[in-house]
Chains A and B, each alone.
Chain A
Amino acid sequence: NAGVTQTPKFQVLKTGQSMTLQCAQDMNHNSMYWYRQDPGMGLRLIYYSASEGTTDKGEVPNGYNVSRLNKREFSLRLESAAPSQTSVYFCASRRTAGYGYTFGSGTRLTVV
């Protein structure tokens, strides 16, 4: 099925470890986004990529880096994980302005 695929679905990290969350879409969408969701906070934008080759900071970028590897893939990296980064991470994509956003099923990350 066409859509946004996130891997892994679950991950447990120790404080200080690094990891990369992967996101891929097969809808030929131009824009891609990374969000984190915490209880009572809604979804907060971490980074986004309006088009291939560009990335910009969102509301909560500290502690994260991103790479728009190609038009399909947008990865989120935690260089040194902290317990405050325990969250559910969602990736989304969008064709262009005026169109809706499609979300992945999420990655549940726990940092101990």
Chain B
Amino acid sequence: SQELEQSPQSLIVQEGKNLTINCTSSKTLYGLYWYKQKYGEGLIFLMMLQKGGEEKSHEKITAKLDEKKQQSSLHITASQPSHAGIYLCGADRLAQGGSEKLVFGKGTKLTVNP
């Protein structure tokens, strides 16, 4: 079962437009991670959120975790072709023995047209 739901699955925007990607969980999110992946390449860490209501920004990308810690959003302002790729949200889940494992949503494919 997919524990994290990402929406939309794909997104095509014109350069300069703002956009938002959502990540929703049926369980409380204790550690929420956003990664970006260029086609055919590895994952690039963007941001980690842990506290309800937390918001972090890096350049033109802002990520938020809601107060209930069940939904996160990634917002890109004034998108550029360099923002194109697959955006993945991941969350910590408690595993056997108290250890943690990282589970992912299916990803959002972003295309930015010049």
Contact residues of A with B, CB < 8 Å?
A: 31, 33, 35, 40-45, 48, 50-51, 54, 56, 58-59, 90, 92, 94, 97-98, 100-106
A50 touches B88 (CB 8 A): no
Q: What bracket does the count of chain B residues touching chain A fall in?
A: 20 to 34
Q: In the complex, A37 Cα to B6 Cα: how many Å?
A: 16
User: Is B114 at the interface (CB under 8 A from chain A)?
Assistant: no
Residues from 1 to 20 in B contacting A, C-beta threshold 8 Å: 2, 6
A106-B42 contact given A42-B107, A97-B92, CB 8 Å threshold: yes
Chain B residues in 8 Å Cβ range of A43: 88, 90, 104
User: Is B50 at the interface (CB under 8 A from chain A)?
Assistant: yes
> Counting chain A CB atoms within 10 Å of each CB, which of B33, B35, B104 scores highest?
B104
Interface 1/0 per residue, B62-89 and A, CB below 8 Å: 0000000000000000000000000010
